[in-house]
Amino acid sequence: ARRSLLVGFGGYLPDRIVTNDELATRLDTSDEWIRARTGIAQRHIAGPGDTAVSMASAAASQALDYAGMRAGDVGAVIVGTSTPDQAFPATAVRVQAELGMTGGFGFDLAAACSGFIYALSMADSLIRSGQVDSVLVIGSEVYSRIVDWSDRGTCVLFGDGAGAVLLRAAGDEDEDRAGILSTHLHSDGRTGDLLYVDGAVGQREKSGFLHMRGRDVFRHAVAKLSDSVDEVLRVNGLSHGDVSWLVPHQANLRIIEGVARKLELPPERVIVTVDRHANTSAASIPLALNEAVRDGRIRPGDLVLMEALGGGLTWGSALARI
């Protein structure tokens, strides 16, 4: 049967770093409060030259280089984003042009912070069904554009950036590589008002800002992500001890630690970037993967469990052998 391998990894973070202390000069907050509640110490914030398209393209180029593949050989581009530069064309189509692709197809996918898990799942399905042989799966987010910088309850939580993974169909020479074992997606629109952006393109009477009921999101996150982790292991006939690495969506260190405890995974088996990147929404998992693969923590053959929850609410998980 056809299956997808993760063969390339890339990431991009804007140069500008904003520390908690810098935020505390403009807002009634403190480094101590933010660290204690979230584990966040700093975040990268897009500069004038950074857009959802430019960051996605930079991350995608790195993933192609890692895999030794050319953009022209890629069958599809999927970008998970809630902060596209334009309503259309899709970010993914602009990325195609940036990379010099003249074939294949691209589209964006809106699943908020679960965007990467959703995009990975769609990409895996495209490969399994034989529609394409390779897909660039990208998360690219500019949350600095949609947070209300005067709302200390939300603006301290987010950062900007992009991450990318290149998936390729396994060939005869890849006999011993399992790749993506399964992906699991969920959403429940009844919880839509816990975390949402007020407005859409052209709705001038709306604020365009992100709104969140933090406590409620926190409660749902721990419960639903615990269920997700159980689900993905059960479906694959695996147990906690089989997981080499947890690569979670990076919303909040307390949520991450909750899921790690559930998995009985020691902290050194959990990839954490939230301290330095804050919550980059759909970009957080591919950024974390990129970091851990490049620094040699995640190695070929390792079993990696990814999970995320975000606005919708949407949530899900994916299990892959690298």
Where along the sequence are the contacts to ligand ACO (CB under 6 A)? Answer: 29, 33-34, 37-38, 113, 152-153, 156-157, 195, 212, 214-215, 217-218, 221, 249, 251-252, 279, 309-310
Q: Tell me the three state secondary structure of residue 68.
A: coil
Residue 249 is among the residues annotated as catalytic for this protein: yes
Nearer to ligand ACO by Cβ, of 28 and 176: the residue is 28
* Residue 263 to residue 246: CA distance in whole angstroms: 9
* Minimum CB distance to ligand ACO, residue 263 (Å): 17
Nearer to ligand ACO by Cβ, of 293 and 309: the residue is 309
Residue 113 is among the residues annotated as catalytic for this protein: yes
Catalytic residue chosen out of the listed positions 20, 252, 279, 290: 279
Catalytic residue chosen out of the listed positions 184, 220, 249, 277: 249
Nearer to ligand ACO by Cβ, of 25 and 102: the residue is 25
From start to end of the chain, where are the E strands? 4-12, 17-19, 42-44, 76-80, 105-109, 134-142, 160-169, 179-187, 195-197, 210-212, 245-248, 303-310, 314-321
Nearer to ligand ACO by Cβ, of 204 and 215: the residue is 215
* Minimum CB distance to ligand ACO, residue 196 (Å): 11
Q: Which of 153, 143, 113, 85 is nearest to 288 (CA)?
A: 113
Catalytic residue chosen out of the listed positions 113, 155, 184, 290: 113
* Minimum CB distance to ligand ACO, residue 113 (Å): 4
Amino acid letter, residue 62? Q
Measure the N-to-C terminal CA separation of the chain; round to a whole number of Å: 18
* Minimum CB distance to ligand ACO, residue 279 (Å): 5
CB 283 within 8 A of CB 162: yes
* Residue 62 to residue 115: CA distance in whole angstroms: 20
Q: What amino acid positions are annotated as catalytic residues? A: 113, 249, 279
